[in-house]
Amino acid sequence: NAGVMQNPRHLVRRRGQEARLRCSPMKGHSHVYWYRQLPEEGLKFMVYLQKENIIDESGMPKERFSAEFPKEGPSILRIQQVVRGDSAAYFCASSNSGADTEAFFGQGTRLTVV
């Protein structure tokens, strides 16, 4: 009965490289949310996806960031041409329905851009 799995747990990228963060939701969950957290700050919403659909990407930066949740496989958050300001913890959460239910979080991926 695995929970939400994120990998890698830690990721170091040089400026200009690409970062790919993976999230496998809990079994039976088809709704995925990505959040970003800076030290001493709260969780900032980035994107909400269902299988093969982006439902709400209002928190995603317009450039360099993209997300997908294919029919098969994990959800991917992709950051192209990373900059130092992208360094943060990125958390994924999943739920079994869109509304009226709690979301469960993974342990996060800590991205460091050097």
Partner 1 sequence: EDQVTQSPEALRLQEGESSSLNCSYTVSGLRGLFWYRQDPGKGPEFLFTLYSAGEEKEKERLKATLTKKESFLHITAPKPEDSATYLCAVQAVTSGTYKYIFGTGTRLKVLA
65 binds partner 1 per the rule CB under 8 A: no
4 binds partner 1 per the rule CB under 8 A: yes
Q: How many residues in total does the chain contain?
A: 114
35 binds partner 1 per the rule CB under 8 A: yes
| Ramachandran area for residue 23 (φ above 0: left; ψ -120 to 50: alpha; else beta) | beta
Among 45, 76, 96, 112, binds partner 1 (CB under 8 A): 45
Burial class (CB within 10 angstroms; exposed 0-12, middle 13-18, buried 19+) of 47: buried
Q: How far apart are CA 7 and CA 16, in angstroms?
A: 21
Q: By C-beta, is 10 or 15 nearer to partner 1?
A: 10
To the nearest whole angstrom, how small is the minimum distance from the Cβ of residue 12 to partner 1? 16
Among 32, 103, 111, 113, binds partner 1 (CB under 8 A): 103
Q: Tell me 25's DSSP state.
A: P
25 binds partner 1 per the rule CB under 8 A: no
